[in-house]
Structure formats: structure tokens, C-alpha cells
Amino acid sequence: MKRSQIAVEFLMTYGWALLGVFMVVAAIIYFGVIDSSTFVPERCDLGYRLLCKDYQLTKAGVATLAIVNSFPNDIMVTSLELNSTKFAGACIYPVPGVDQNILIGQVKQYSFNCIPQLPNIKSSRKESYGVTVWYYLNGTTPAYTYPLYGEIYARLS
């Protein structure tokens, strides 16, 4: 036997063995024996203009967000929305009557009820939730309100 033939047979034998191992792992993940979401960290991302300092979503239906203003100007927040494919509609945090000013670098905490949406989620897995922050720059009017879209990927606590 030539050396090249031995090398090719070695690679083919172990190549098939590796392919078999990959197929078994893929089948285990596909059929849900191993939950792949346990390997992905929880996160809150609102972009670079608004930083999500802290967040919490509870099974009791309370959503809490701590937001840091990284805009070069103060902003006025008019509302926050939390939505998901797991529930119909959206949890909306309207700021009653007066828009809330967030100064540059200031942390502002928002807590709002998501009843009946969050308590109806029975999964113990991490889920993706969309967040929309409606704001306008301080010194302008509410006619110039813009949405800022983000995401929370977390498990209900």
C-alpha cells in the first residue's frame, strides 16, 4: 500500500465518524432534548443611543426597564411598548399627561403592567421581546416623535 492511499483511507474513516457525531448532536438539538437557548446569554439591546442598564420581566406581568440617555441632547420619552409573537397586542407604557425628560447620561426607570400578556406565557425558555421607545429631542415639539426599536432576549423571572 502506498502512503497516500493510507492517508486517504484514514481521513475517510474518521470523516464518516465525525459526520455521524454531528448528525446525532443535530438531532438531539432539533428534537428539543437539549435546549439551545441555555447557551445564549440574556440581553437587552436598544442601540447605541439608549442603553438598557437593567431590565426585568416577571411572570406576575410587570416589565421594568432602566434606560440611560446616550443622545447628545436631552430627550423626552412619550411612550414605551413591549411586544412579542407569544402574545397579541403590546404592553404600552404611556406617560400620563406629561412627557418624561431624560437628561444626557441620566438613568430613568420605567415599570409597567403587562397583564394579561406576560402571565400567559407558559414557557420557561428564553424568549425574544420587541421594545419600542417613542421619543423626541428636548427643545422640539411632539410632532417630531421618533421610534427607537430594540430587543430583550430573556426568561420570565
Which three three-digit cell numbers place residue 62? 410587570
DSSP for 53-96 reads EEEEE-TTSEEEEEEEE-SSS-EEEEEEEEE-TTSSSEEEEE--
Q: Residue range 95-114: average pLDDT?
A: 77
pLDDT greater at residue 6 or residue 148 = 148
CA separation for the pair 148, 81 (Å, rounded):
10
6-19 pLDDT tens trace:
888 887 888 888 89
Mention every residue, 6+ apart, whose C-beta is less than 8 A from residue 152. 43, 44, 45, 52, 55, 57, 82, 128, 129, 131
- Mean pLDDT, the chain, whole residue set: 82
pTM, entire model:
0.73
Domain that holds residue 82: 41-154
Together in a domain, 55 and 116: yes
| Among 52, 46, 79, 77, residue whose Cα is nearest residue 67 | 52
Which three three-digit cell numbers place residue 66? 432602566
Together in a domain, 80 and 136: yes
Res 24: pLDDT: 92
When divided into structural domains, the chain yields a total of: 2
77-92 pLDDT tens trace:
888 888 887 776 677 7
Together in a domain, 89 and 17: no
Whole-angstrom Cα Rg for the chain: 24
